């Protein structure tokens, strides 16, 4: 493998990590519902509720068929976030914490019965908020490290606007979802859509980041030593 092939291989790895997070984020709110319907699970009030949503088919391998899928997705996203190296020290730290938090969401599921496993529900919510807060902060405060290489002023402003909007959505929606969960049944049943919006904002962020980096070819130039990316 020559130097050019190695650079293309490394670049492909980063593109694949971003693509994986885009796909998993975009499909998760849809897949958990469809997989639940396949096993006779009715629409749940929140995405987290699908973890221990019981199936009406007692013959299957598990009475909670969605938890395997849900947990697998969270572990995959968490691994991708941890393995993905940011352009600055702070971006990298935030992504690492977000990755660990995603795994924490899977390992501390939300139980319908309060107190069944001490602190599991609180840890689940805490990890979920941490996950989205870290990605949101990355989107809002760490975009300048790469945007400075976008020469088109209008495109740079557009990317910045998208990053700030998606970042705020990722921070705000989980908090709104928590407040709604303690409201009336009619309000609590809409938590799913708030969670879904936060997850789709996550995908939108990575879509935008992928488009930006493809336009500037910054990763390739960095590997070739053609740009100076000093860690912040």
Closest CA to 65 of 73, 74, 54, 81: 54
Closest CA to 212 of 157, 165, 134: 157
Tens of pLDDT along the chain (232 residues) come to: 667 777 788 889 999 999 999 999 999 999 999 999 988 888 998 999 998 888 776 555 567 889 889 999 999 999 999 999 999 999 999 999 999 999 999 999 887 666 566 788 889 999 999 999 999 999 999 999 999 999 999 999 999 999 999 999 999 999 998 888 776 666 667 889 999 999 999 999 999 999 999 999 888 777 777 776 654 4
Closest CA to 120 of 73, 67, 112: 112
What phi-psi label fits residue 222: left (phi over 0), alpha (psi between -120 and 50 degrees) or beta? alpha
At residue 206, φ and ψ (nearest 5 deg) are -70, -30
Encoding tokens for residue 12? 């492909």
The CA radius of gyration of the chain, in Å to the nearest whole number, is 19
What is the model's pTM? 0.90
Encoding tokens for residue 148? 């400075």
For helices 120-141 and 153-181, angle between their N-to-C axes, nearest 10 degrees: 160
Closest CA to 40 of 60, 20, 21: 60
Encoding tokens for residue 142? 């760490």
Per this entry, what is the length of the chain?
232
């Amino acid at each position: 493998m020559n130097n050019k092939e190695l650079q293309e291989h490394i670049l492909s790895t980063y593109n694949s990590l971003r693509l994986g997070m885009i796909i998993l984020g975009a499909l998760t709110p849809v897949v958990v519902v469809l997989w639940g319907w396949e096993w006779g699970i009715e629409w749940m009030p929140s995405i987290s509720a699908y973890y221990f949503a019981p199936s009406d088919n007692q013959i299957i391998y598990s009475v909670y068929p969605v938890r395997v899928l849900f947990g697998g997705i969270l572990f995959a996203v968490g691994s991708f976030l941890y393995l993905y190296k940011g352009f600055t020290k702070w971006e990298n730290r935030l992504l690492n914490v977000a990755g660990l938090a995603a795994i924490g969401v899977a390992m501390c599921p939300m139980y319908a019965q309060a107190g069944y496993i001490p602190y599991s529900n609180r840890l689940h919510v805490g990890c979920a908020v941490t996950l989205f807060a870290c990605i949101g902060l990355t989107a809002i405060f760490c975009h300048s490290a790469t945007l400075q290489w976008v020469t088109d002023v209008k495109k740079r402003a557009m990317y910045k606007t998208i990053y700030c909007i998606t970042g705020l959505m990722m921070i705000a929606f989980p908090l709104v979802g928590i407040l709604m969960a303690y409201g009336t049944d009619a309000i609590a049943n809409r938590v799913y859509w708030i969670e879904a919006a936060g997850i789709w904002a996550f995908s939108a962020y990575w879509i935008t980041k992928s488009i930006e980096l493809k336009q500037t070819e910054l990763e390739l130039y960095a590997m070739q030593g053609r740009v100076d990316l000093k860690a912040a």
